[in-house]
Chains A and B, each alone.
Chain A
Amino acid sequence: MNGGAMLEVEGLVTFYGRAQILFDLALEVAEGEVLVLMGRNGAGKSTTLKSIMGLVRPAAGSVRFRGRELTGLPPFRIARSGVGYVPEERRIFAELTVEENLEVGRREAPPGKEPWTPSRLYALFPNLAELRRRRADRISGGEQQMLAIARTLMGNPELLLLDEPSEGLAPVIVDQMVAALTGLRQHGVSILLSEQNLHFAGRIAERACIIEKGQIRWRGTMQALLADEEVRRAYLSV
């Protein structure tokens, strides 16, 4: 870890209607790190990210980013404070071109930081460069996933919430994704990643949290997780 905690989540409680999804969940992401949130389907991974982003309103708990309280703010305020969100379903704007999708995400960079531009993003995701005039529903699923990430980066976030980016991607695309995300780290973007794919997570993340039934049950380094078969069997195997 380098630097203090960038994102601090404490005592998060979230409901969908009457069903409680998160129970007193706590986690921290340090400056510059990649933390992976692992867990089975329905464990609460996506809900955790949505609660941080303000897309679902937590019933209790707090989310602080660089010491600033985010709880209760509308999503656009949270995005403007430096948190970027890439949803699991990607939610690209199907009838807009690749370039226009990027435009929707564009915001000023914080002072002193070099802003992301389409051309810098095309360097990071080479596939997108040729597709810039293509409608976003006419590109492959992997390309859509990259577009979703690139679109969020256009807002120059300092922390990226990535919800299962490897889901449903072909192995060759997964390799490209790993390369791109590794590249991102070098640009100083911290990442909170939700994942079910241990192999993919192992190639990117340094630390892992395991979530089950809406609570963090295990936390440690990625190496420790890869070494600990018992933990994996208890919380991750299907």
Chain B
Amino acid sequence: MDPGFFVVQFLNGLATASFLFMASAGLTIVFGVTRIVNFAHGSFYMLGAYLAYTLAGIFMDAAYGAMSFWGAIFLAAVIVGLLGILLELVVLRRIYDAPELFQLLATFAVVLIVQDLVRMTWGGEDLLGPRAPGLKSFVLVAGRRFPEYELAMIFAGPLVLGALWLLFHRTRFGVLVRAATLDREMVGALGVNQALLFTGVLFLGAFLAGLAGALQLPREPANPYMDVNIIVEAFVVTVIGGMGSVTGAFLAALLIGELQAFGILVFPKITLVLAFLVMAVVLIVRPYGLLGRPQAESHGAARAGAGLAAGTPLQRGFWLALLALLLVLPLFADEYSLKLMIELLIFGLFAFSLNFIMGWGGIVSFGHAAYFGLGAYGAALLVHHFAWPMEGALLAAPLVAGTAALVFGALCVRLSGVYLAMLTLAFAQIVYAVAFQWVEFTGGDNGLIGIWPASWAASRTVYYYLTLAVSLAGIGLLWRFLYAPFGYSSRAVRDSAIRADAIGIDPRYQRWLAFTVSGIAAGLGGGLYVFSKGNIDPEVLAIPTSVDALTMVLIGGVETVTGPLAGAALLTLLKDFVMPLTLYWKMVMGVLILGMVLAFPKGLVGILADRLPALQARPAERERPA
């Protein structure tokens, strides 16, 4: 290959890096100050692109020229910035004191709402924007053609970095933002109104996202999927750089941009997974990213999470009644309801397994779909390639998932907080990419079909009873773990790893075990899932599956035992109810989730427990002899 090719690849890498940086800078700034992982950043990016499309159309019809084009881009970014202020005022301001996961769920609900708003306004088609006047041609670089617009964009990233540097070092607003990133409570004690500061930061973050989306328009059409795609990439860049560090994000963007430009030459299939591989490696070596620092310890009292109470007779009666109802259900339920119930039970187990580490172990996983999906794929592959019977495949599913959890968990539990969550996401995305791209083995995008239960379990009713027995056994075992000394150790590590360490519990080992157990249980759910559907495709491993599990846990109630089950039931039934009613079911779900987060920050079961003290038993934890 001639050297010109390498030069052009290098420039391509720089252009990619430039865009990645602009798309991520706002995210890292917002996180630094507000500590909110803002999923809606992707929505801002998408809105930037769509608004620029519309504005450029209007302006360039009126007067064709560079002024119209750049004016449209800038105005789009400003409007998106104002929408950022709206988000801060209407949503974020109410939940700054809520647990970070609720903030995340709230911003995710905003993503759902914006997705449908965009679809309503601009339709679902790809919209290709105008090309930039004056930058439509090519330049010759080492004898090869390189687009002028790309060349200009290579400079845009550093330009934004420079402008941000000036803002942060030469203005009072910037100095306050940097100070708030380090210790926002102290900034407040010095007389700074945090609410105003946060509003300003949200404007800045959304403006940058909108700008990046608008500048992207001449390269790739605006489409309704660009929000999720970019948010994942922006998260990766932000985490690799170190959350809250703008310079770190720039370095991370360069790293990913260039690795992608050249990695594609060595191994063409690597694009989908490369960023996550880089993130995994960086986090294993540097647990807080390239230029990140450990999150500041909170200056308040040590957090005490929920303990566990022994069940009251009333509660036991309720569970027995529910069990009886589930047992007789097939007598009067139709096929469709049984199918729905099977799904509900499986997702109940899945959500329960997530909360096992999240609510009771303090390990937040953004990638729990990996273990659910690996259980499902493990079973499906054994049936498809090796003609295993259903029974064997169902037994193997939790083992496949558990093995993966054992390996990934060992690396994940070394981290904490958002970084840990992002590493779990990275592993899930790697598994997803393998399932997606290893077409010969996994069927790729199409997945595998014809994975049906054994003949004795082929009837819906029998499979229902099988699912009921297996998922209740799984949930029961996890439940038992929670009340066993294992659960006590997990909660000790969750509330204070240092103190747990001091009394002889190895925090990492404890977390590792919990992570593995949780993965096994999720895999069991995945195994049941694949036979209930008869087919499998990579979607089961994708981010929405992980987010569904998180949503179930959060709307049901973290740190409640039964919350995830209630959440799974609610979300499954809601989806079933809402989806057929409207094309815009995402918006309905988004509004519902947002409403729930704002109204019940403790989740449904948490609220019930607060309202009905009769349901709450005496705290068993305290009365146990040590």
In the complex, per-residue mask of A148-191: 1 if CB is within 8 Å of any chain B CB, else 0: 00011001000000000000000000000000000000000000
A-B contact pairs, 23 of them (CB 8 A): A53-B189, A55-B185, A76-B188, A76-B190, A76-B191, A76-B192, A80-B191, A87-B186, A87-B189, A91-B186, A91-B299, A93-B178, A93-B183, A96-B178, A96-B179, A96-B182, A100-B178, A101-B179, A103-B172, A104-B179, A104-B187, A155-B190, A155-B191
Out of B175, B193, B194, name the residue touching A96 (CB < 8 Å): B175
Give me 14 other A-B pairs in contact (C-beta within 8 A), A76-B189, A76-B191, A155-B190 excluded.
A19-B301, A55-B189, A75-B189, A76-B188, A80-B191, A89-B299, A91-B299, A93-B182, A94-B182, A96-B178, A101-B179, A104-B192, A105-B191, A107-B191
- Number of B residues, CB within 8 Å of A: 21
Which of A55, A75, A80, A104 has the most C-beta atoms of chain B within 10 angstroms of its own C-beta?
Answer: A104
- Tell me if A79 is interfacial: C-beta within 8 Å of chain B: yes
Which of B178, B182, B300 counts the most chain A CB atoms within 10 A? B182
Interface string of A12-45 (1 = CB under 8 A from B): 0000110100000000000000000000000000
Question: B301-344, CB under 8 A of A: which get 1 and which 0?
Answer: 10010000000000000000000000000000000000000000
On whether the beta carbons of A105 and B190 are closer than 8 Å, the reply is yes
Q: Does A229 contact B (CB under 8 A)?
A: no
Chain B residues positioned under 8 Å from A69 (CB to CB)? none
Using A17-B301, A93-B182, A94-B182 as known contacts, say yes or no to A79 and B172 having CB atoms under 8 A apart.
no
- Interface residues in A91-127 by Cβ distance below 8 A to B read 91, 93-96, 100-101, 103-107
Closest 3 CB pairs of A and B: A79-B191, A16-B301, A91-B186
Contacts of A80 in B (CB 8 A): 191
Which residues of chain B are within 8 angstroms of A95 by Cβ–Cβ distance? 178, 182
Query: Do B193 and A76 touch across chains, with their CB atoms under 8 A apart?
Result: yes
Assess the A152–B301 pair: CB atoms within 8 A.
no
- Tally chain A residues at the interface, Cβ within 8 Å: 29
Interchain CA distance A91-B301 in the complex, whole Å: 17
Binding site for B on A (CB under 8 A): 16-17, 19, 53, 55-56, 74-76, 79-80, 85, 87, 89, 91, 93-96, 100-101, 103-107, 151-152, 155
Bound: A155/B191 CA distance, A: 7
Nearest neighbor of B301 in chain A, beta-carbon distance: A16
Question: What's the least CB distance linking A191 to chain B, in Å?
Answer: 17
Collect the chain A residues with CB atoms within 8 Å of residue B304's CB: 17
In the assembly, what is the distance between CA of A75 and CA of B185, in Å?
Answer: 9
Main secondary structure of the interface of B (DSSP, over half): helix
The closest CB in chain A to the CB of B182 belongs to A93
Residues of B144-189 at the interface with A, using a CB-CB cut-off of 8 Å, are: 172, 175-176, 178-179, 182-183, 185-189
Chain B residue nearest to A156 in the complex (CB): B191
Q: How far is the CB of A150 from chain B (nearest CB, A)?
A: 12
**B202-224 interface mask toward A, CB cutoff 8 Å, 1 = contact, 0 = none?**
00000000000000000000000
Q: How far is the CA of A93 from the CA of B182 in the complex (A)?
A: 6
Cβ A74 vs Cβ B188 within 8 A: yes
Distance, CA A107 to CA B191, complexed state (A): 8
With beta carbons under 8 angstroms apart, the residue of B172, B183, B194 that contacts A91 is B183
Shortest CB–CB separation between residue B403 and chain A, in angstroms? 40
Check if B190 sits within 8 Å of A152, measured CB to CB. Answer: yes
Q: How far is the CB of B618 from chain A (nearest CB, A)?
A: 15
Please report the C-alpha to C-alpha distance between residue A101 and residue B176 in the assembled complex, in whole angstroms: 9
B179: chain A residues within 8 A (beta carbon): 93, 96, 100-101, 104
**Residues of B close to A93: CB separation below 8 A:** 178-179, 182-183, 186
| A100 B190 Cβ-Cβ under 8 A | no
B contact residues around A100 at 8 Å (CB): 175, 178-179
Q: How far is the CA of A152 from the CA of B186 in the complex (A)?
A: 10
- Closest Cβ neighbor of B178 among chain A residues: A96
A75 CA to B304 CA, complexed, in Å? 24
Complex: how many Å from CA A82 to CA B183?
21
Residues on the B chain within 8 Å of A101, using CB: 179
Q: How far apart are B12's CB and chain A's nearest CB, in angstroms? A: 34
User: Contacts A89-B299, A96-B175 hold; do A79 and B183 have CB atoms under 8 A apart?
Assistant: no
A104–B188 touching, CB < 8 Å: no
Give chain B nearest CB distance to A202 CB in angstroms: 28
Chain A contacts of B300 at CB under 8 A?
16, 56
Give the Cβ gap from B248 to chain A, nearest Cβ, in Å: 13
Q: Are B182 and A79 in contact (CB under 8 A)?
A: no
Residue of A whose beta carbon sits closest to that of B192: A76
- Candidate in B176, B191, B299 with the most chain A CB atoms within 10 angstroms: B191
B172 contact set on A, CB distance < 8 A: 103, 106
B189 touches A85 (CB 8 A): yes
Chain B contacts for A85, CB-based, 8 A = 189
How far does the alpha carbon of A145 sit from the alpha carbon of B192 in the complex, in Å? 21
Cβ contacts under 8 Å, A103 to chain B = 172, 175
- A101 to chain B minimum Cβ distance, whole angstroms, is 8
Please give the distance in Å from A135's CB to the nearest CB on chain B.
Answer: 12
In the complex formed, the residue of A with least CB distance to B304 is: A17
User: Complex Cα distance A83/B299, Å?
Assistant: 20
Q: Which single member of A79, A96, A106, A107 contacts B189 (CB below 8 Å)?
A: A79
Take A17-B301, A152-B190 as given contacts and tell me if A104 and B175 are in contact as well, using a CB distance cutoff of 8 Å: yes
Give the distance in Å from the alpha carbon of A16 to the alpha carbon of B303 in the complex: 10
CA distance A74 to B172 in the complex (A): 22
What's the nearest-Cβ distance from chain B to residue A137, in Å? 10
Contacting residues, chain A, for B190 (C-beta < 8 A): 76, 79, 104-105, 151-152, 155
Taking CB atoms and an 8 Å cut-off, the chain B residues in 575-591 that contact chain A are: none
State in angstroms the CA–CA spacing of A152 and B189 once bound together: 9
A106 surroundings in chain B (CB, below 8 A): 172
Minimum Cβ distance to chain B for residue A47 (Å): 10
B-chain residues with CB within 8 Å of residue A16 when the two chains form the complex: 300-301
Complex CA–CA separation, A49 to B194 (angstroms): 21
A17: B residues at CB distance < 8 A? 301, 304
Map CB proximity to A onto B592-614 as digits: 1 under 8 Å, 0 otherwise. Answer: 00000000000000000000000
Mask, B406-427, CB within 8 Å of A = 1, is 0000000000000000000000
Q: How far is the CA of A94 from the CA of B294 in the complex (A)?
A: 13
Write the nearest CB–CB distance from A7 to chain B, whole angstroms.
16
CA–CA, A103 and B183, complex, Å: 15
Which A residues are in CB contact (< 8 Å) with B299?
89, 91
CB neighbours (8 Å) of B194 from chain A are: 76
The smallest C-beta distance from A215 to any residue of chain B, in angstroms, reads: 20
Taking the closest CB of chain A, its distance from the CB of B235, in whole angstroms, is 23
Q: A residues within 8 A CB of B175?
A: 96, 100, 103-104
